[in-house]
Amino acid sequence: MKVAIIGAGAAGCFCAVNLKRALPDAEITVLERGRRPLAKVAITGGGRCNLTNSFLEINDLREAYPRGARLMQRLLRRFSPAETMQWWEDEGVQLVTQADQCVFPRSQNAMQIVDTLLQNMRRMGARILTESKVTCIRPTDSGLDVSFNNTTEHFDKVVVTTGGSPRMEGLNFLPELKIEQPVPSLFALNAGDAPLHDLTGIVVESTPVSIAGTKFKATGDLLITHFGLSGPAILRLSSYAARHLAENNYRVTLCINWMQGRTEDEVRSMLLDYGQSPRQVTNMHPHHLTARHWSVLLARAGVSESRRWDTLPAKELNRLAAVITADTYVTDGRRAYKAEFVTCGGVALSEIDSNTLESKRYPGIYLAGEVLDVDAITGGFNLQAAWTMGYVVAKSIAQPQ
């Protein structure tokens, strides 16, 4: 059997290795438009490669996969995170699971992942052609003709693993596929408000953030930067609300609960307890907030720093409780987070058979990885999707049902 895999990324290369193992006689050609295979994997996780996650803190897959949770639920039963970790350990890649449940190679070097895949492909005889951009796939009576670099080769099966991008231009050769409009996911937000600028560098742990007037919310550490807001809470929110944010040109009202999710009533009664004290309002405040941050919040609530807790008028106390549990900032754009992003959108999941990942419209063509409308929050979930889908396609081709 001759198989073309289009795109030498995580999904494509993982598929190639597992297909070659399952069907040693298969002739596999991986076509990559770039100069280097696995170029993106080499820079994942800041060069350390967060290759999966223990999933222990995920109660519902929709938390990890805002798009594609149902498909991933089905596919992860076929190739789970535990099986993924075992796969890499069997290849001699020792792994470590961090306290936040992210899994990295013990070497802390993404090149170990790249080299392991490439060595396997070379050893088993899978051909990789770089600088080979696929421009056309034509179904024939006996299979599929694939055109690249002014040549056309015939294959029995084709696997499309061209990844995501804002215009999905890598997929021009399958014009009839329904595409969910691609938009970026995983980014920080600009918020021009001056009060935040004074707080650059502050991290507030376990902070709930939401977008006013919507159901989008996320919780995590919040980092205040010179341009606005970042950190896990905002990245997660940017993933959940990727499409809404794009539609609103990244101008929304962000609502921040600086009190780790405590309600306004709970905070009011905490402030009433402070009201027993003759200390100044600046000198007594919730432990997890810095003095600098507290001063900014007092100013935002219109409470003078020289006030004493035991003489603070009820009106001001109520205003303070309201501000610190639902502080609002208007965003005015987005920022790449450490150059990390994924694409929300891609080939609609209605286009594929959810057991085999074969295209319903183009029999013999399979799709896997970020090219599909599946994407995740940060934490190793995106690469897990690429490994799992690559594996499932390999099995589907090797053992057709």
**Residues of this chain that bind ligand FAD (CB under 6 A):** 6-12, 31-34, 39-41, 43-45, 49-50, 133-134, 161-163, 170, 339-342, 369-371, 380-383, 386
* Least Cβ distance, residue 381 to ligand FAD (angstroms): 6
Nearer to ligand FAD, 7 or 228 (CB): 7
Coil, helix or strand at residue 362 = coil
β-sheet bridge partners, residue 95: 105
Nearer to ligand FAD, 53 or 210 (CB): 53
Query: What is the nearest approach in angstroms of ligand FAD to the Cβ of residue 352?
Result: 14
Nearest-angstrom CA–CA distance, 178 and 132: 25
H/E stretch holding 128: strand 127-129
Instruction: Write down the least CB distance from residue 383 to ligand FAD, Å.
Output: 3
Q: Which of 18, 41, 31, 32 is nearest to 113 (CA)?
A: 41
* Closest to ligand FAD by CB, 12 or 220: 12
Spatial contact of 204 and 257, defined as CB atoms under 8 Å apart: no
Q: Could you tell me if residue 325 is left (phi over 0), alpha (psi between -120 and 50 degrees) or otherwise beta?
A: alpha
Q: Identify which of residues 135 and 290 has a Cβ nearer to ligand FAD in the complex.
A: 135
Of the candidates 315, 254, 257, which has an alpha carbon nearest to the alpha carbon of residue 286?
Answer: 257
Give CA–CA dist 235/11, Å, rounded: 23
Question: Rounded to the nearest 10 degrees, how much is the dihedral formed by the CA atoms of 68, 354, 142, 135?
Answer: 0
Give CA–CA dist 112/295, Å, rounded.
Answer: 48
Q: How far is the CB of 153 from ligand FAD (least distance, A)?
A: 13
CB of 215 to ligand FAD, least distance (A): 25
Q: Name which of 141, 109, 142, 94 is nearest 41 in CA terms.
A: 109
- C-alpha 258/C-alpha 288 separation (Å) is 9
Q: How far is the CB of 336 from ligand FAD (least distance, A)?
A: 9
Decide whether 316 or 340 has the Cβ nearer to ligand FAD: 340
Q: How far is the CB of 333 from ligand FAD (least distance, A)?
A: 19
Residue type, 332: D
Give the residue with the Cβ less far from ligand FAD, 33 or 236.
33
Distance of CA 183 to the CA centre of its chain: 13
Q: Which is nearer to ligand FAD, 177 or 289 (CB)?
A: 177
The tokens of 113 are what? 């992942």
**Smallest separation, CB 32 to ligand FAD (Å):** 5
CB of residue 21 to ligand FAD, shortest distance in Å: 18
Give the nearest residue (CB) to ligand FAD.
9
CA geometry: angle 386, 130, 141, nearest 5 deg: 75
139 is written with which tokens?
């179904």
Q: Give the nearer residue to ligand FAD in terms of CB position, either 12 or 81.
A: 12
Distance of CA 209 to the CA centre of its chain: 18
Look-up: residue for tokens 């070659």?
A: 20
Closer residue to ligand FAD, CB minimum distance, 101 or 318:
101
